Structure 1
Amino acid sequence: MGEGCTTETQFVVQCLRAGIHDSSLETTDFESVDWDGVLDGATRHTVSPLVYEALQDVTDQAESALETGPGCKTGQTTETTMEAPQVPTEVLETFRERSQFVARRNLRLLGAVANLSSTLQSEGIRAIPYRGPVIASHLYGDVGCREFRDVDVLVAREDIPAIKSILEGLGFEPVYLDDSVTELTPTQEWAYRRVEREYTFYRERDDLEVELHWRVLSRHFPTEFDLECLWDRRSTTTVAGTEVPVFSPEDRLLACCIHGSRHRWERLHWSYDVAVALENQPVDWDAILERAQRHDCRRLFLLGLAVTDWLYDVSVPDRVRRQIATDQTLEGLLAAVEDRLFTDRPYREFEERRFQARTLDRTRDRVAFWANWLFKPNRSDVEAIALPRPLAPLYGVVRPVRIATGALCNGVRTSDHPQAEGR
């Protein structure tokens, strides 16, 4: 695998492969494994329950072999069965405790999804919960298998004021990038909804975070993947006894690929979502390829498939593999993913933006991407300065000034997006 991929991270990937293909771990030499490294890797990539499942399967098989070795009566052992691979008890216990914690938290968040969806439906507000809780329940079939820490809901931008009022009535408060900001002015609220794609709310009493999205991707990308184009294709699932709208299988797979590609596939659980979708549900490939083309996210989608196939050897049609092979840019993008996947080295924001620009299909989209990033304000620009409504267009001037100042003060940062959006 890529630079920086240790034996322990390869072991984590082996565990995930075993889960995808419903097989046992290939590794039998557990004595040489650095278990602290495995624990760190599973935690970093938020896949601890999946690794625990693979390790528990090995342990169960070893115990079964010890009890009933080939050709032996129950209770007898042989030299062969005594050599069955063993996972240290303390390692299994650590993973078990982590998995139980994840399951308890996920059940609480699923309840929040059901309650919020029911509340919004009763108010006549369209909303589709997606990512974390819904993927765990609808795609994995086991709420304890998928780690997530918040609730993401796709809504219409014009409904944000009404939903904000509902959430505040439920005890939530807005979360801002600038800790010194406690409230936005009406002009900032107006500008915020036009330059951003999400609004975060937090409720302290139960440590619950809800993110309202009115676009799946930021406006820097040409992809118009919003509620209007997804609502008529939605399906439903039952969450905590409540009928909840969800993405169609094709839209879910497309959204998973878009999200992971935007973040350079820096967390294994994103690619595992794609692998589970490919292996556990039928895919209308004609429909999804047409949508990827229509929504200007073909390369984002194909990159997601390429990364997932590289890691897990999943089922991808030959015609799709040919499209991946003939896109020369994808080869470089995949190499960049391999280079970053298993390392935490700091990198410049420009490096991240350059990668994102290369995922776009057309030259004009890449030019627009850079122009938007350089000159159009974002949420931090809006939070930084409270302008009166007549001067709101000047937020476009604030942006390049703040970029120049930031570049002079600190051009290097640690990759924090995956942790901020590690669902």
Structure 2
Amino acid sequence: MDNNYSLDLSCLSKELRLLLEILKTEDNDSIGVVKKELFIDIDWGGFLQLAWHHRVYPFIYSKLKKADDNRIPPYVIQTLCKEFKKNTLQMLLLSGEMEQVSELFTENQIRLLYLKGPVIAADIYGDISLRTSKDLDILISITDLKSAEELLLSIGYEKEVVPNFLNEWKWRRHHVVYFHPQKNIQLELHWRFQSFPMKEPKFNELWERKRVSTLTSYPVYFLGKEDLFLYLISHGARHGWFRLRWLLDIDQMLRKGLKLEDINSLLSKYQNRKLVGQALILASELLKTHMNEGWEKLTEGTDSKKIAQNAIDFIKGTESLETIMSSECYQYYSLSLKSNLQRFFVFLILFYPNSADPMTLRVPKPLHFLYFPLRPLLVVWRKTRKLS
């Protein structure tokens, strides 16, 4: 990375700095060389909260459990141990469900690729217990969406009820959420990595580069390493990297030897150099991720540096995703990730009616096409009523 450039990290709390320092360590023995001053006046309750918020507590525990360091209170290790065990059970539960869903879909001629979950933990960390996952994320072809939904409903999953006026989901959504009340498992069914207009590979292209996991006895397919790397970056960037877990994924993939030539052609084809540059800057500055000269060239762009600095505002706190995404700061950040053409399409999508419009003004169904020209007026009307 440019030796003359560094992120402004002055806003990071002492607890977050210590968390990052522990994440950087190569092995258990190196915990002892963490600077003594980083342990002074630490709010250990706040430290645990950050480890939980960033979903890195299993990885932190794996480093601290064998470290003989009296600077860390015993209850901190005990709390991390408890959460580590709970996460391991959760990942085992998800592994079983992952295998069952794969078998069900395959028997019904539906191709599926896992985007996250235990299969990704095993691939990146070599151990499912070192990464957290609250749900299963599955990617399918949009042509199989109806059949896939019928299968999930047939085995006890319930679909999240979401507004869908005039098929707005095609423009504003990229996945549907399902929940199994008996198993307490959430599953996200994706037909895109992220919402339109972001450019991304077609399902058939991803299927050609797929890998098969050795985690389960029945074949479970997931993304090729280059596609997984770029997907995790696009996902992390879209959420402002507000969880360090996503950045740790990138760090671990680079440490395992992912080469720039593996993804170079995809970078040009799908126009995501800016996002990759952002991820590399954040990983280098926060986790001291080592990268060779080829990777460093991607960090030189002014746009990458700007959006990397903007992401620090989301990383430093413990706000929920809903709170972050509703802020004006995030709206500006989200637009900064996109190209000028993508911003133009985002602007156009604003004119597509949504479920709030018929609640504002009811129009007979045969005249629903009128919601398109009426949309700007209805939006202004709602904003005016909200302010009054």
TM-score band, normalised by shorter chain: 0.7 to 0.9
C-alpha distance in structure 1 between counterparts of 2:248 and 2:207, whole Å: 25
C-alpha distance in structure 1 between counterparts of 2:220 and 2:202, whole Å: 18
Q: Give the match for residue 3 of structure 2.
A: none
Which moves more between the two structures, 146-155 or 28-37? 28-37
Q: Give the match for residue 242 of structure 2.
A: 266
C-alpha distance in structure 2 between counterparts of 1:408 and 1:383, whole Å: 17
When residues 302 and 269 of structure 1 are mapped into structure 2, their CA distance, relative to the original with a 3 A threshold, is: same
Deviation at residue 28 of structure 1 after TM alignment: 4.2
Report how many aligned residue pairs link the two structures. Answer: 373
Deviation at residue 194 of structure 1 after TM alignment: 5.5
Q: Give the match for residue 81 of structure 1.
A: none
Which residue identity is paired with 1:283? L
Q: Give the match for residue 319 of structure 1.
A: 294
- The gaps in structure 2 that reach 5 residues or longer are 1-7
Matched, 1:306 2:263: no
Deviation at residue 399 of structure 1 after TM alignment: 6.0
When residues 409 and 173 of structure 1 are mapped into structure 2, their CA distance, relative to the original with a 3 A threshold, is: farther
Which of the residues 321, 335, 343 maps onto 1:357?
Answer: 335
Matched, 1:96 2:81: yes
> Identity rate of aligned residues, in percent?
23
Q: Give the match for residue 294 of structure 1.
A: 269
Which of the residues 54, 61, 67 maps onto 1:58?
Answer: 67
Q: Is the 8 A contact 2:50 2:318 kept in 1?
A: no
Moved over 6 A (4+): 382-389
Matched, 1:115 2:111: no
C-alpha distance in structure 2 between counterparts of 1:402 and 1:148, whole Å: 40
* 1:127-148 deviation digits (Å, cap 9, x = unpaired): 1011232221221111111111
Which residue identity is paired with 1:288? I
Q: Give the match for residue 332 of structure 1.
A: 306
Q: Is the 8 A contact 2:121 2:131 kept in 1?
A: yes
Deviation at residue 47 of structure 1 after TM alignment: 1.1
Which residue identity is paired with 2:183? D
Q: Is the 8 A contact 1:102 1:144 kept in 2?
A: yes
Deviation at residue 3 of structure 1 after TM alignment: 5.0
Superposed, 1:384-403 pairs within 5 Å as 396=372, 400=376, 403=379
Secondary structure of 1:250's aligned partner: helix
Matched, 1:213 2:175: no
Which residue identity is paired with 2:333? F
Which residue identity is paired with 1:253? F
Deviation at residue 306 of structure 1 after TM alignment: 1.6
Which moves more between the two structures, 20-29 or 200-209? 20-29
C-alpha distance in structure 1 between counterparts of 2:123 and 2:100, whole Å: 17
C-alpha distance in structure 1 between counterparts of 2:107 and 2:142, whole Å: 19
C-alpha distance in structure 2 between counterparts of 1:365 and 1:194, whole Å: 13
Superposed, 1:362-381 pairs within 5 Å as 362-372=339-349, 374-377=350-353
* 1:216-243 deviation digits (Å, cap 9, x = unpaired): 011032x123423311111111233221
Which moves more between the two structures, 13-22 or 32-41? 13-22
When residues 395 and 47 of structure 1 are mapped into structure 2, their CA distance, relative to the original with a 3 A threshold, is: farther
Q: TM-score, normalised by structure 2?
A: 0.86
Q: Give the match for residue 55 of structure 2.
A: 46
Secondary structure of 1:216's aligned partner: coil
* 1:42-91 deviation digits (Å, cap 9, x = unpaired): 111111111212221323xx5xxxxxxxxxxxxxxxxxxxxxx3422221
C-alpha distance in structure 2 between counterparts of 1:109 and 1:156, whole Å: 22
Superposed, 1:147-296 pairs within 5 Å as 147-177=132-162, 191-193=168-170, 195-221=172-198, 223-280=199-256, 282-296=257-271
C-alpha distance in structure 1 between counterparts of 2:333 and 2:226, whole Å: 25
C-alpha distance in structure 1 between counterparts of 2:121 and 2:220, whole Å: 14
Secondary structure of 1:316's aligned partner: coil
Superposed, 1:61-140 pairs within 5 Å as 85-140=70-125
Q: Is the 8 A contact 1:151 1:209 kept in 2?
A: yes
Q: Is the 8 A contact 2:102 2:220 kept in 1?
A: yes
Deviation at residue 101 of structure 1 after TM alignment: 0.5
C-alpha distance in structure 2 between counterparts of 1:227 and 1:266, whole Å: 28
Deviation at residue 248 of structure 1 after TM alignment: 0.8
Q: Give the match for residue 18 of structure 1.
A: 25
